[in-house]
Structure 1
Amino acid sequence: MKDQLDSAFSNLSEKLLGWLDAIIQNLPNLALAIIVLISAYFIAKYVNKFVYKIVSRKVQQESISSIVARISAVMVVLLGLFLALGILDLSKTLTSLLTGAGVIGLVIGLALQGTLSNTIAGVVISFRKKIQIGNWVETNGYSGEIIDINLKDFTLKEADNNMVVIPNKMILENPLKNYSLTTKMRVFLECGVGYESDLEQVEQLTKETISNAFDQVESPDDVEFYYTEFGGSSINYLCRFWIDADSMLEKLKAKTKAIIEIKKAYDKEDINIPFPIRTLQFDNQLTLDNSNTVEESFSKN
């Protein structure tokens, strides 16, 4: 028993002495590795602030700027860690870390596939110059002003003040119409007048009314007017003109104003805007002689 204890103590002493010799031999490399790690930490802090300032100039969303800056800082720290392991000649450990990181990244990616896709889509959308907070857009069947773009979703404020939250992935994968990219919008107005109306007078009056109602329309010639069909109760037309607007709400207000002014002008000139009327007419006269029917039934009996 004593011999076994002495042997074990001897083996332990040899191991400790071997580790001590290895530490002494690799002391310069260890010191250099520690210096690399400390340097990577301070460089990461500087990179975090620098990247945040750069991204903030391009992106209005603070959450996007923060996540991009943090990712940059983490990449610097990981680079310093790998350099330190390489200095210590721990190639096997470095390979194991890379393999483990790949497996863990794959597992996390599969588990959080939807979340990660929305996060990446949010970063991509935030760097698009044609999509900015305050723009009036239409996408995925909704129309409104962009209120917020973060790492999860895309928030719209509709004209009726309702908030619509859409996942970033759907914004990136579907068409988006941005009304704020142009300073002009075209207003479409459809109406009809009675068959007894003077069509040339209606056209001229409509153009003059719209020209007088909107400063952007310099003359009646700038208003497009086309008769489209002989309707069931009216002759219908299409009227188009341009206004200075960058949101759908301004377009709706302009269309409302045009309808009001045209109705006033038509009433003043006794121009009729008919509506469908259904007339039920019974020309055939049905006569039932109940008395004869009763007499015949009695005579048979």
Structure 2
Amino acid sequence: MKIGLDILGGDFAPEATIQGAILASKQLSKEQKIVLIGDQNIAKQQIEQAGENPAFFEYVHAPEIIGMGEHPTKAIAQKPNSSISRGFQLLKEGAIDSFASAGSTGAMLVGAVLSVKNIPGVIRPAIGTYVPKISGGYGFLLDVGAVSDCKPEMLSQFGLLGSLFAEHVAGMTAPNVALLNIGEEEEKGNTLTQASYPLLKQNQRIRFIGNIEGRNVFDDGVDVIVCDGFTGNVVLKMAESFYVMTQRKGLKDEFFDRFNYEIYGGTPILGVNAPVVIGHGISNPKAIETMIMLSKTMIESDIIEKIKSAFNE
């Protein structure tokens, strides 16, 4: 197993990414290697300074960086020696089994679609994220930013993608799927949710339980929550603020502590032909460590083959 990591992506790279890789490496077997993609000279130097053996890792030299403000498609094409471009080239060639970065989300999306491409049958990939449940455990929300303007058919597919991830990666048994809406009644919502409801209801490959409102997102009875990327991103950013506000006010609460982004590390892009994980731009070493371990779990679960099988039935 080879887990690819962009060491130049993120606000605190490369220090945070390399430190996170060191933390994750201590949990891996000899057959499981982290491939550090970026400036290999800096990587080896910082690993040695940390008192670790550089031989524990593999390296791919890619000194260029795709900045957060750059146009994703142009940057991928114009910077073939960037850490993100090289990462996706390695993933396409099968030289690594997964690729993770806390760099530009746009570049990660574009790189995934252009390199490893969508799984046949998937209209558009989705980005999913964990959301804490009130009494413990987690639900899974998608899309949270890949597709702002969705078609009803996409939301039905997101329901299946999320259900497969929840079952095979997150370990949920027979996960149910709900549609995020402004009311529980079938006829509620805008044109998108009204048209999506019957498609989700007719989808025999998922356990659709109907609409839920925003106040139900963290309920125990909801496993997978489907919405368009615009709505999901707003929900995600608002949820992240809960943890920040409790910290600022000096409040200690087990539930709100589980809104800490470090716990999840990254969000998977579901619907492409290889495991791809996007980390938070402000990822610290702990978040990078968690992102790497999520990559490992996705590889071990064989989630890509399971999605391929489901969409080819």
What range describes the TM-score normalised by the shorter chain of this pair?
A: under 0.3
Between the two structures, name the one with larger relative contact order (CA 8 Å, sep ≥ 6).
2
Instruction: Report the TM-score, using the length of structure 2 for normalisation.
Output: 0.19
